[in-house]
Structure formats: C-alpha cells, structure tokens
Amino acid sequence: MPASSADGSARQIAALAVGLVLLAACGDGPAAPDAVEIEKFDDGCDHPTALDECFVGDFFAECGGGGAPRLGCTDSDCLWFTGGCVATGFLPSDCPADHVCCADRWPYPVGEFESPIGHQGDHQLYLQLLGFGLSPWDRGTELTLTGRVDPSVASQPDHMTCTGLAPDPTGPCGAEPSSLALPTLRDTLTIISVLEDSQVLGGWYLWLEVIPTGGGTLSARACMFPFIDYWVTACPDYGAPRCADAGDVRLSRWPSSQADLPGLAVGTTLVFPGGMTVDWVGRWNPPPP
C-alpha cells in the first residue's frame, strides 16, 4: 500500500538534513482548492481515484487514464500522473506535459505570493523540478540500472568512493563523505545519501529509486540531486537531470513496510556521463527517539 501524500518523502527528509530554509510567506495567498474543484480536472479518470489505488513512485503515479501525463500537486507532494488520471486530493496543472511551466514560468498560476498549491507546495515543487527536470517522469524514466537483493551487502563496511570528480564539500564525494541512507517506501523504494554537515546550504546528494519489475526482479535509477537554500515560483533555467547511465543497485533485502526499513543496507556501483563513478555502501540506522 503506498504511503499517503502526508508522509514525508525522501526529498523532504533530505531538506531537513542539509538545513534547507523555508522562506516565510509574505501575505495571504489564494485558498487551496477543495476536492470538488480538484475532481473536475480529472478527465483522465473513469471515476475518482485515491492515491492508495495507484502504483506510486517518488515522482510519478500510475492511476489509469489513456491521455498525456499530467502534473498534480498537494501542499506537500507533487507527482507526474501517467495516463493523465490525477488522484483525488491532487490539483492538476493546466500546463501540457511538453510545456509544464506555461503559467508565467510555473506549472500553476501564481497569485500575489503563491500558487493554488500553497507556499510549502510551491517550495516542494521547485525542489523536484530542480532535481528531476521539466519533462514527465514515469516508471521507465532513466531506468538504466540493474537491481537485485544481495544479503551480503549487510556485512560490508559503509563507504563512498568517487572517481572522475574532484573532492567536493557540497556533495557526498567530499573528503569525509556521508554513508547515511534515508529510505522511503511507496510502491518503489527511494534511498538517498545525505551530507552529515548540516551547515552546507547548497550542493547535491545521491538519489536512488528501486522499482520491482515482476518475478522478484528489480530495476533502478540513480541521479545527482541538487539542493539549495532558497526557492522561487519560477521553473529552473535547465530542465534535464544528471543520472547514471550504467551500474547496479544491491539491497540487503526488500523491505516489507516502512517500519521494516531500519537496518536496510544498500550497495551501488554507478557510472555517470563523463566517466564519473560512484561506489557506495550505506545503511539506514535511524537515530534513537
């Protein structure tokens, strides 16, 4: 069962870990739309569809429909809806998939201070567009990596080794790289590496998504996900993510639920365009309450 949109995503957890700053709203923006207003946009659905009826990833959801992909957001989560059927509770953008920033350089019309998805929704959407780019995502986007369950990963020491990239204090390939893994389980598994230095306000972290492909097999994608300490209601100037084009992802086990994530270990061997490689083993050991 997918996690609800109220559950924090890996990106939101990462934002807290690296000290991202939410800007305070400067006034009252337009009211968030109610369910009736949302449902009238769901022309890709035969009937109202709840998110827990869909196959849900970190930036996409399959809820049915036979139309073009459509971006939809709440005040805490944004997803590309494959087939155009947008789950109830999400406000669809009226911008087409091939020009998602059509509303004066944003997917939604911006009022005096914010768009209809609210201040925090705008902030979350900006981070997603910054990292994932401006084109639709679906189950197969950048899915270039093999994945498998390998219990031996649990006994391997944590490390991150990068080649082809100079040590960078704003990324996980610095002199003292982080091996911390923060996972989120929906129908796919998202894992990120996070800088342990919470004072760094801009840079990148490693983002992984592992997707079941049937018959007990797994596929995966990995990207260099940027972060910054500010945001604006305007789409980034560039629209393409930087993702690995070869490699593999190894999990110590496939978690059965969100509660089963502690102790999960991940190992990766990644090759990025330009020849940079990343070899990483990390695990999720949540801090004590």
pLDDT tens-digit readout, 25-46: 233 333 333 333 444 444 567 7
- Is residue 22 predicted with pLDDT exceeding 80? no
- Is residue 19 predicted with pLDDT exceeding 90? no
Is-contact 71 100, C-beta < 8 A? Answer: yes
Distances (CA, A) of 194 to 10, 169, 190: 10, 12, 13
d(CA 262, CA 108): 38
Instruction: Determine how many CB atoms are found less than 10 A away from the CB of residue 68.
Output: 14
Instruction: Please provide the average confidence, as pLDDT, over all residues in the chain.
Output: 81
**Which residues are CB-contacts of 112 (< 8 A; sequence separation ≥ 6)?**
27, 29
Burial bucket for residue 179 (CB in 10 Å: 0-12, 13-18, 19+): middle
How many CA atoms within 13 Å lie on the side-chain side of 287? 3
Residue 115 DSSP SS3: coil
Beta bridge partners of 277: 163, 271
Reported as a pLDDT band with limits 50, 70 and 90, residue 88 is very high
Reported as a pLDDT band with limits 50, 70 and 90, residue 155 is very high
Q: Which amino acid is at 258?
A: Q
- The DSSP code for 53 is G
Task: Tell me the pLDDT tens digit for each residue of 217-247.
Answer: 999 999 988 877 778 899 988 767 889 999 9
Pairing of strands 203-214, 145-149: unpaired
Longest dimension (CA), the chain: 55
